[in-house]
A and B are shown apart, each in its own frame.
Chain A
């Protein structure tokens, strides 16, 4: 019997590889390529058009000495942490409530999820208006007689980021709730029964048994929320335009403004690079957890 030659591994499952070309191109050319391009040009003093005029770390020095950037970073931090915590907590609580075999589950779920279908521009606009001290909540409460009432997050530099948060939560918790609900539905019914027989109160069952079991859902959710946080832009533009002053600036807006308003591409690229760096720091451990060693069994 003869030995069969091992065929060139490149040509095995060729169709699969051909079919994956769009993905490979996107990953390599657009995402990796675009990122590298961005990083390279962050070391130039490109203005309106990209130019290979390298200036070392100048752009970064300027970036980190800009108070607008610092505020952007701070805002992103506050916004990110709050959004992460609140949307997870609220999303989970809603999902847990909906999971109680309640009536009208579909109706409630629809209500919680519909904002997700609207764009951030729309969301920002509506909430800008509801939070407007003249027409909105503050105005209404005052007109009801409580004249000292004050609720104008969008006009108060100290809390403006929370005003944006309110709108962001409104828009995104529905999806989180859906994810959580799906996760809850995936939990073995017997676990609940076992906990009941053991006499464990509901909240403890959630806290010590169910939530730890939902780790994969939380990871997916985290990825989705986090990717949204980094990219937050439209909402801020629609709601406050970065104001009052520069109190609600965010990095994505900084990048955009630097590139197109002040026409300093190099500065925009430097800011982008810093953002990408942060993303990498967050993402690499995740990728490691997802793919590192553990293969599908």
Chain B
């Protein structure tokens, strides 16, 4: 049957990855109708929600897994996938299993996780440090210490694109790296306000203040423009997800030689297991429902997982598949994953609403030098205390 699938994967690599799904799905005798909406989740999500609540649901739709779709599930608009999951033994194959947890509500499974994002990376330009006469740092503290020397050499220490999501990302990475994964999970998962008010977090905010001053002179919008500054040596480093690697590769740079990658800022090597998941709205049409089940199964099958994630450049959600084509930095990531140094993404721990408030705080803090680290922490504590 024909099945309309909506998602916001429109860039070249993403589209190619989606095509793998489509190919496999079409091969199973169904037809994939592509409903791509570019922009970010912010553009696409209201459209998807409107479609579902408006009574004209698509066959399947992408969501960042986590709690975004919680209410839709509660409202009974999303299909219960528990049968299929049990049949496919998802509990066993999905690794890390926390991914499946975020798809679970009241013991029932409602979504299919398809990949793992890893965003805790610091990318450094070797040439820039050479020029400033400092060794390439191996962790955040060294990096921050090198900032004055870099500035003296006319190099912007840290490149940050000004779109809010980039600031937020940088902050979250700082938080997990400096305060450690446990503190992170406590604060976001258990909303531990005492911890948020403590010493550990104070360090995080100080580091953020450092980052703020280190990036004061970077004025670019897009993340890839920021990456470009690192590539050209205008800036010394950037905190960005693994997708930044693509830019280095396009520019012909080699990991370790031209640039250095430090997962978890070299402090706490962890990977946030956020990612994308697919949900299946409840449909009346039996034929289509069957097709939904087929698609769900298909998405988690080892072949499709490999094909998809290779194109997407992300990590597969199955521990039992092998990625040979991955590059050095990516392999570092796989290693960390294998060691189990993983944390859940904030999406999975906290409601979108509370998260937005916290993100807004980060963005404001990062863009307004008149807010001191202490002030920001105080506000952060309030938000955590009231979060759900």
A243 engages B162 (CB within 8 Å): yes
User: Which of B5-13, B68-76, B106-114, B136-144 lines the interface with chain A?
Assistant: B68-76
A47: nearest chain-B partner, CB-CB? B71
As a 0/1 sequence over residues 61 to 77 of chain A, the CB contacts with chain B under 8 angstroms (1 = contact) are: 00000111000000000
Residues of A within 8 A of B364 (CB): 67-68, 245-246
For the complex of A and B, 8 pairs with smallest distance between CB atoms: A245-B367, A262-B356, A48-B71, A260-B46, A264-B353, A155-B219, A244-B162, A263-B352
Residues of B within 8 A of A264 (CB): 352-353, 356
As a 0/1 sequence over residues 246 to 267 of chain A, the CB contacts with chain B under 8 angstroms (1 = contact) are: 1100000000111111111001
Choice from A67, A132, A247, A262 contacting B352 with Cβ under 8 Å: A262
Residues of A within 8 A of B220 (CB): 134
B360 beta carbon closer than 8 Å to chain A: yes
Assembly CA distance A244 to B216 (angstroms): 12
Q: Shortest beta-carbon distance, B149 to chain A, in Å?
A: 24
Prevailing SS type, chain A contact patch = loop
Given A48-B49, A155-B162, A243-B163, decide whether A261 and B352 contact each other with a Cβ distance below 8 A: yes
Assembly CA distance A128 to B225 (angstroms): 15
A263 engages B162 (CB within 8 Å): no
B353 engages A267 (CB within 8 Å): yes
Range of interface residues on B (Cβ < 8 Å): 20 to 34
B189 beta carbon closer than 8 Å to chain A: no
Within 8 A of A (CB), among B25-60: 41-42, 45-46, 49, 53
Given A48-B71, A49-B75, decide whether A242 and B164 contact each other with a Cβ distance below 8 A: yes
Can you add 17 more A-B contacts, CB < 8 Å, to A48-B49, A67-B364, A152-B219? Answer: A47-B353, A68-B360, A133-B219, A155-B219, A243-B164, A243-B367, A244-B367, A245-B364, A245-B368, A247-B367, A260-B46, A261-B352, A262-B355, A262-B356, A263-B68, A263-B71, A263-B352
Binding site for B on A (CB under 8 A): 47-49, 66-68, 128, 132-134, 152, 154-155, 157, 241-247, 256-264, 267
Q: Shortest beta-carbon distance, B356 to chain A, in Å?
A: 3
Assembly CA distance A155 to B351 (angstroms): 31
Q: Shortest beta-carbon distance, A13 to chain B, in Å?
A: 37
Residues of B within 8 A of A247 (CB): 367
Binding site for A on B (CB under 8 A): 41-42, 45-46, 49, 53, 68-72, 75, 162-164, 167, 219-221, 351-353, 355-357, 360, 363-364, 366-368
Residues of A within 8 A of B49 (CB): 48, 260
B42 engages A261 (CB within 8 Å): yes
Assembly CA distance A273 to B356 (angstroms): 21
B72: nearest chain-A partner, CB-CB? A48
Residues of A within 8 A of B164 (CB): 241-243, 245-246
Residues of B within 8 A of A134 (CB): 220
B77: nearest chain-A partner, CB-CB? A49
Assembly CA distance A164 to B102 (angstroms): 40
Residues of A within 8 A of B71 (CB): 47-49, 263
A259: nearest chain-B partner, CB-CB? B46
B357 engages A243 (CB within 8 Å): no
Assembly CA distance A76 to B300 (angstroms): 48
Assembly CA distance A43 to B383 (angstroms): 21
Assembly CA distance A234 to B72 (angstroms): 28
Residues of A within 8 A of B72 (CB): 48-49
Choice from B68, B351, B367 contacting A246 with Cβ under 8 Å: B367
Could you say which of A48, A68, A154, A243 has the most chain B C-beta atoms within 10 Å of its C-beta? Answer: A48
Assembly CA distance A133 to B219 (angstroms): 9
B42 engages A263 (CB within 8 Å): no
Residues of B within 8 A of A242 (CB): 164
Q: Shortest beta-carbon distance, A150 to chain B, in Å?
A: 10
Q: Shortest beta-carbon distance, A37 to chain B, in Å?
A: 14
Residues of B within 8 A of A132 (CB): 221
Residues of B within 8 A of A262 (CB): 352-353, 355-357
A47 engages B351 (CB within 8 Å): yes
Residues of B within 8 A of A241 (CB): 163-164
Residues of B within 8 A of A49 (CB): 53, 71-72, 75
